Each structure stands twice: as structure tokens, then as C-alpha cells.
Amino acid sequence: MASVPKLSSVFTWILYFIPVYIFILEPILRPIFPDKTEPSEVTTWESEVLLDDWEETKPALNLEDDSFISPEDDVPINCPGEAPGYKLHLLSRTPLIMYIENFVSDEEADHLVDISLNKYSPSIVYDGVTERVDPSKRLSDRALLDRDDTVRCLEERARAFQGWRPHLYIERMWAQRYNASGHYRHHYDWVGSLAHGGDRLSTFMVYLGADCVGGGTNFPRLRMPPGEQWCQFLECEPEGQPAQEGITFKPIKGNAIFWENLRPDGTGYPETWHAAFPVSEGTKVGLNIWSWYQPPRRMSQKGT
Ligand SMILES: *[C@@H]1O[C@H](CO)[C@@H](O)[C@H](O)[C@H]1NC(C)=O
């Protein structure tokens, strides 16, 4: 007759097994059967974008087109007049909006204004089909900047700020000059075209020259953050004054607003609706740094 183990010896074996499991077996097994909740690597930047709808006839943006984007090449990055660093202030997590103090140094800002002179032409508006000048919507002049050392340095600063995200392409930079009465009505920087090839993922709005009254950058759908420190950068209504809609950034030379235009699924954030309020005196010069996002094209499986 087979002997049944005594209850006490079963307990003894369990007691021996517990430390063996904790200190020996579990560490050996963990790499083989990883815990699903444990992050195994940094979350990738790749957005979940529905690309299957891409029609093969619709060409994506030509990434070699250096009149629109600034291709990365072998020209060494050299940063004359670079300031030691910038300060960041988080304004919103969704959409991501950061305020950047001293994004460009005074020397860099003055240089960028200098190279823009003699290159200005009236700014255009784009309605999805045609480009035209429409002073009721947008009254300013714009200048395409040559890619000199300072501009290339800023391209790299913008890439680094965004963590060298793959498939992100810095557009050629434009300076925008607003004279008295210059303005830009509320608009989005994104067009909702990601599924057709690419779209503007993010915007840096940099103030290069702010010798002006008025000319704030208004976001009517954002709310004033708590903390009176923000009154350095945002218009704060004095007591008893009618509140402006949303929040308005003061133009301050060298500082920048950074925001993301697109959600992870590629659709645009309605909160990024913004305007350049009219300049009432003087001149404002702004610099747009737009990041075009174009994930690799996945061909439709149809007919293959
Ligand atoms: C702004 O002022 C400059 C210099 O006076 C002038 O050449 C330019 O045409 C003006 N632009 C607009 C849009 O009024």
C-alpha cells in the first residue's frame, strides 16, 4: 500500500519552495514570460494613423522638395549667437502646449530679422484649393529664410525639442512681419490631410521682434492657467475689465509658444484655433517653425 505523505512534510516542502521561487525561479522565468503590464521599451512615437485609405494616385509630399521642407543633409550644425538655454513652462498637456522663454537669443532674433529684409511679399491664405491674398483674413508680409547657420541651428533645435521624432520634417522657415493694423484671423495650422500624406504636427510661434502695441496671439478655446506668474506672458485682465475670449500671449522678443496640432490618431485639435490680434502701433516680426509629419506610406492591399 503506497504511503501517503504526512501533512507536516507537505508543509515543509512548501516552506522550502517559497524562497526558491522568489529568489531563483522567478528571476529566471521573468525574461521568458514578461509581465504584460511592465513597459519593455520606450513607447514609440509612431501614431496610430489610418493609412489604409491612402489612394495610390494621391502623391504624398515630396520629401526632397527643398522649397517646402528643410531636408536633413550633411551640412555641419554651427550655432552662432546661440544662448545658453531656454526655460520651459507647461501650459497644457492635451493638447500639448509649452511656453518657451529665450527660445532664440537676441542675437539670433536680430540676425533672422536682418536676413528677412528685402525678401518680404504679402502673406497668402490657403483655403484647401487655392492660395490668395486676402487682407480681411490676413494682413502681413512674409519672407522665406535662406538656410544659413542660424536657421539650420534652429531646425535642429526644433527637432531636438521634439525628441528627434521619426518621420517629422521641419518646413522651410518663414518670417512674418505685421505692421500697424496687421493681423491674422482665427485659423488652424493643420488641414486634416494626414491620411493623404502628411500634415502639420506642431507649431513653434517665435517672436523675433516685438516693438509693438497689440499683436498678441489669441487662443479663444484655451483657459487661463492658474498662477499669476503667467501674467508675465499672457494678457491678464485688470479687475473690472471685460475678459477676452480664451488666452492671449504677449509678443515678447526671443520667446516662443510650442503646440501640437494633431492628436495621436492624426486628427486635429480644435483647441489650437488661434489668431494674431491686430498690431495697433509699431511692428511685430514672428517666425513660424512648422513640423510636417509624414509616416511612411503603406500601400493599400487592394488588388495585390
Ligand atoms: C509694412 O511696412 C513696410 C515698410 O514700411 C512696407 O514696405 C510694407 O508694404 C508694409 N506691409 C503692409 C502689409 O502694410
Residues 6+ positions from 207 with CB-CB distance below 8 Å = 109, 251, 252, 253, 254, 255, 256, 284, 285, 286, 287
Which residue's CA is minimally distant from atom 7 of ligand 1? 120
Confidence of residue 55 (pLDDT cuts 50, 70, 90): very low
Report which ligand 1 atom has the smallest distance to the Cα of 122. Answer: 13
Which residue's CA is minimally distant from atom 13 of ligand 1? 140
Is residue 80 pLDDT above 90, yes or no?
yes
Is residue 19 pLDDT above 50, yes or no?
yes
Percentage above 90 pLDDT, the chain = 64
Which residue's CA is minimally distant from atom 1 of ligand 1? 179
Is residue 156 pLDDT above 60, yes or no?
yes
Q: Region 252-281: what's the mean pLDDT?
A: 96
Distance 219 CA to ligand 1 centre (A): 26
CA count, 13 A, side-chain hemisphere, 271: 14
Q: Region 267-286: what's the mean pLDDT?
A: 97
Higher pLDDT, residue 55 or 154: 154
- What CA–CA distance (Å, rounded) separates 11 from 8? 5
- What CA–CA distance (Å, rounded) separates 259 from 201? 9
Class of the CATH-defined domain 87-293: mainly beta
**Strand-pair category, 174-178 with 141-144:** antiparallel
Which residue's CA is minimally distant from atom 4 of ligand 1? 179
Q: How much is the pLDDT for 134?
A: 93
Confidence of residue 23 (pLDDT cuts 50, 70, 90): confident
Report which ligand 1 atom has the smallest distance to the Cα of 139. Answer: 13
Distance 179 CA to ligand 1 centre (A): 6
Q: Region 31-37: what's the mean pLDDT?
A: 62
- What CA–CA distance (Å, rounded) separates 26 from 132? 67
- What CA–CA distance (Å, rounded) separates 255 from 170? 19
Is residue 53 pLDDT above 60, yes or no?
no
Which residue's CA is minimally distant from atom 3 of ligand 1? 179
Which residue out of 179, 281, 283, 284 has the highest number of ligand 1 atoms within 8 Å of its CB and is therefore the one to mutate? Answer: 179
Q: With 0.85 as the threshold, say if the pTM is over it.
A: no
Is residue 52 pLDDT above 50, yes or no?
no
Q: How much is the pLDDT for 242?
A: 63
Residues 6+ positions from 297 with CB-CB distance below 8 Å = 51, 54, 60, 197
Distance 112 CA to ligand 1 centre (A): 18
Which residue's CA is minimally distant from atom 14 of ligand 1? 179
Mean pLDDT over each residue of the chain, to the nearest integer: 87
Q: How much is the pLDDT for 155?
A: 98
Is residue 43 pLDDT above 70, yes or no?
no
Report which ligand 1 atom has the smallest distance to the Cα of 179. Answer: 1
| pLDDT tens-digit map of 196-207 | 788 999 999 999
Helix, strand or coil, per DSSP, at residue 302: coil
| Ligand 1, pocket residues at CB < 6 Å | 139, 141, 179, 182
Higher pLDDT, residue 181 or 241: 181
Which three cell numbers mark 254?
526671443
Confidence of residue 183 (pLDDT cuts 50, 70, 90): very high
Confidence of residue 54 (pLDDT cuts 50, 70, 90): very low
Q: How much is the pLDDT for 82?
A: 93
Q: How much is the pLDDT for 241?
A: 67
Higher pLDDT, residue 42 or 162: 162
Q: How much is the pLDDT for 57?
A: 43
Question: Alpha carbon of 15 to those of 6, 8, 10, 19, 22: distances in Å?
Answer: 15, 11, 9, 8, 12
Which residue out of 120, 141, 178 has the highest number of ligand 1 atoms within 8 Å of its CB and is therefore the one to mutate? Answer: 141
Q: How much is the pLDDT for 303?
A: 43
**Strand-pair category, 125-126 with 168-170:** unpaired
Distance 21 CA to ligand 1 centre (A): 78
